Structure 1
């Protein structure tokens, strides 16, 4: 079946044949045709999960196969959604070690993007807790790759954006938790300097993240609300929650049922939102207990929130800057954004820890994510933000990319050429290719 596909940002769009297999024999036939890439829930923002010939929808390969209660090891097929893992295992006292900002991502997608969360500085990326992966190669054979066997394939698959083969199954580890609640603390930082100082002061916190006002200027550049969190111990819960510590109330969800008018999101509305959010943060600072869903997945409460950006869609800019260049680089990025007036109300800052990887995104430093509606001014601004990132030794997150140029990627990340050569040498470049891989020449 041929359909028009896009990522979560709705940009760019491309006609593509889509197949939804239920077994490995069907998958082998599809791989042999070439130009394929796997797709999970479609939560990659750009065109990384759109094949140049065929997109393979993996959501019907979604069984949880086994669980070891002594080690927390879950073996699951690639199409299993992270939210379903939480639904099944949180009542038993287990939670994912690492989660991105949505629970609707699949296990295969989380591995392909090597997603990170609010705890990368402390516990690393999703791949840190993957023990092995079953991968279907260009000839249809299946290889079990781990840090011990076929280690090169394993390491390149983490963050390889689905271009090293089809991820079929994986063994991942879950962490033991005593409750479904998070002990949250929020502090306000009036500028970027104090925001970074707050992150460093909270280095021992398991989770940390900041909303940042990307339109603030002058002495208020980088003003932020920094939130830290810890899994709450059952014994420290209020008496009414102690009896059932692993249960929390289900959140009310809203659905965005239409595409918002393009004119609704502009510098004035974003500036008003940011001012209101900052004011709200002044009253919300301090400590409190919040349920796991609200802490980790605030945007999941609005189903279809991407439609806020209208029919033309949106693009997300996400870079990471090395620690020594973060203050100057973030200042330059925020000043350029404020000057352009193309503000983002979904602006997120996180601290990342050290990570050695042949192609995964994180490195020690700070990552900034900004969402922008697609228009000519935005695309010009993003070119400017690219240049600032490169000048400060940063690189870009391919799971969020929708418009990088191949030359820009290589200037930021010399590992891209190594990744391309690995794919060529292994004969993977013809069989597995996404629209993003074609655009970036990887």
Structure 2
């Protein structure tokens, strides 16, 4: 049966990443199924096409200036769940939020939980996202049993781990094909709560020692670092670690005993559409960081927290990215290999010395990396922060950090990038030529193109 290619919903739409920088215009198609997605790839136009999910990539990975963007959120069916085996078969446009709603009552949870649950399964695979359990569970691609991938030639392929195409797709930023569906392996849980231990670290050295010495005892571990603290307090942090709470850990009269697997995420008022100058001027940010650190317990163990509050406190505030002001924010997320802690210390000192308005950054200890040539994770230390645009000297400062990170054997996260220079990329991703060669063979007509790929020559 012939499939009609849908005309764009509008002639052009303005698109940005979650950081709201580098806006571009593109023709947006919204396929309702694999056949319509394939039809769109057969006639992508001279600027090619790229798939997009819920738009939570901070940079330009899901934009295509003057070209076509496939909004994949219409492919949102959960096709099958095998709770006993711990497997779910779902289309790529299903959000992790929706998976939690469906899976938690069945005693299953998503295998990797990134900083937001409002990301699609396709986006999680394409970015090979990581979460607070990266040190023990690795990144998202390690939990994918199989993919249905629409390749640039219009063929739908079943792709499995251990093959070059699978490896290149996990972390490949949507440039090897349009992910249509995935089968995921799921961990079991007994409640929708996390048993949490919290402690303060007085400085960065104290924090690194605590992470290295105790992370192996926890499923989830993240630290929020005050990058405005200086002197003896440089790198002070609040370390939060936890495990899924078993039912027997609930106090006798705890309300969760009646519905231990209920998923009730909090929701607060939306951030205003325009915040003059943002809420993150230097003085407000400094006061917030100081109050936040002092209000956190020096040490607390065994506290029960809902999954949504533990993993995604910002998801409770719709459009929280507006808090950085009308110019948006520049994210900076990098990873350094083990043994390069002195480089991390130097970067933290230099950021703190700038006195820029930055909320507590997230530091994690990473475990195994992904198999993909563009997968971000590697064993070591990852730091993630956001800065308002327009800070004096910001571009040159981050360029210098890029070079230092690359020289130390580290890399920046492509899913959050909109500014890295192409000449630095090869040092960060030594298998870059392998990825380019696979793409050239798979997509000789350059059907799949994004602003990211065009900027970095991917």
**1:385-430 CA-partner distances (Å, limit 9, x unpaired):** 2122123221011111111111121222222232122111222660
**Cα offset, 1:249, TM superposition:** 4.7
CA distance in 2, matches of 1:429, 1:381: 37
Counterpart secondary structure, 1:9: coil
Q: Is the 8 A contact 1:318 1:369 kept in 2?
A: yes
Q: Is the 8 A contact 1:164 1:428 kept in 2?
A: no
TM-score by length of structure 2 reads 0.93
Q: Which residue, 161, 169, 174 being the options, matches 2:186?
A: 174
**1:332-383 CA-partner distances (Å, limit 9, x unpaired):** 1111111222242041001110225222100000100010011152223212
* Paired position in structure 1 for 2:4: none
Counting only pairs closer than 5 Å after superposition, residues 393-408 of structure 1 correspond to structure 2 as: 393-408=409-424
Counterpart secondary structure, 1:94: coil
Counterpart secondary structure, 1:303: coil
**Cα offset, 1:250, TM superposition:** 4.2
Counting only pairs closer than 5 Å after superposition, residues 417-428 of structure 1 correspond to structure 2 as: 417-427=433-443
* Paired position in structure 2 for 1:147: 161
Q: Is the 8 A contact 1:181 1:248 kept in 2?
A: no
TM-score by length of structure 1 reads 0.96
Q: Which residue, 355, 375, 382 being the options, matches 2:398?
A: 382
CA distance in 2, matches of 1:428, 1:346: 44
* Paired position in structure 2 for 1:138: 152
Q: 1:420 to 1:248 in 2, by over 3 A?
A: closer
Instruction: Note if 1:315 corresponds to 2:334.
Output: no
* Paired position in structure 2 for 1:361: 376
* Paired position in structure 1 for 2:429: 413
Counterpart secondary structure, 1:239: coil
Q: CA RMSD of the aligned region, Å?
A: 1.5
Counting only pairs closer than 5 Å after superposition, residues 235-250 of structure 1 correspond to structure 2 as: 235-240=248-253, 241-247=256-262, 249-250=264-265
CA distance in 2, matches of 1:103, 1:170: 17
Q: Can you give the 5+ residue segments of structure 1 that lack an aligned partner in the other structure? A: none
Counterpart secondary structure, 1:255: coil
Instruction: Note if 1:57 corresponds to 2:71.
Output: yes
**1:150-193 CA-partner distances (Å, limit 9, x unpaired):** x1111110000100000001101111100111000001110111
CA distance in 1, matches of 2:328, 2:277: 9
**Cα offset, 1:263, TM superposition:** 5.9
* Paired position in structure 1 for 2:226: 213
Superposition misfits of 4+ residues, deviation over 6 angstroms: none
Q: Is the 8 A contact 2:280 2:324 kept in 1?
A: yes
Q: Is the 8 A contact 1:132 1:171 kept in 2?
A: yes
